[in-house]
Amino acid sequence: MNVHKAPVTNDQLAMPERVPYHLAIIMDGNGRWAKARGLPRVMGHRAGVENLRPVLRASSEFGIQILTLYAFSTENWGRPEPEVHGIVNILETVIDREMVHLHANGVQLRLLGDTNRLTPELQRKVREAIDLTRNNDKLTLNIAFNYGGRAEIVWAMRRIVADGIPAEQIDETLISHYLYTAGQPDPDLIVRTGGDLRVSNFLIWQGAYAEYYSTPTFWPAFDRRELWDALQHYQGRERRFGLVTPP
């Protein structure tokens, strides 16, 4: 159950001593949040959009440099058409309504995923938003939309083959260079809202050594305190990357 909590300011929370440079969030539970309130599922997605700005603000204030949000997967096209249409419209609404605010606050926008299924008009808006914020450096915001980890790897392999790179030159560094996240470090922490314990085809290459944290709180209710709790758990993790702790 998601219990409403009073907003918490930084004055009430000790700043984390160690924060992830790159935080990724699987924004799950929008539909269940709406259902619990007797609302259509699309209203849950709209509530999730309203939660973007406060989470972005908190992430920046806590010192996170890259925030990746899983908004729409390649598998989500199989959902009921009205819901899919509503989510795609929400992406356009976010770009129309939030880009001026994001740009003014130094946020650089990147889109991870295949934009070919978006309308030409929405593709244009995405390109313009990315170009507008290209030189911003306070926070990088990756929106994973029409994204799937397996599809991303297939896409990268096809580009490597198309570029004529010999098989013996292919290594992990090269593959990372061909992924949507090229030029960015892998996520340090992946948070999943909504309580499920699965990766759902999200950053399956980049998240190989990420720390994972799951909260039962649905995404529309994931607030500053919830983010702080996730960062506190991250502080307590010992990241060994397959090695052992020195005696």
Given 2, 28, 146, 223, the catalytic residue: 28
The closest alpha carbon to 139, from 37, 238, 20, belongs to 20
Write the CA distances from 97 to 49, 90, 102, 105, 218, integer angstroms.
11, 10, 10, 14, 24
Active site residue 28: yes
Given 2, 11, 51, 76, the catalytic residue: 76
Q: Where are the beta strands (DSSP E) in 123-181?
A: 139-147
Active site residue 171: no
Distance from C-alpha of 21 to C-alpha of 185, rounded to nearest angstrom: 8
Phi and psi at residue 27, in whole multiples of 5°?
A: -85, 85
For 14, other C-beta atoms within 10 Å of its C-beta total 8
The closest alpha carbon to 123, from 92, 166, 165, 84, belongs to 92
Write the CA distances from 182 to 156, 185, 232, integer angstroms.
10, 8, 28
Catalytic (active-site) positions: 28, 76
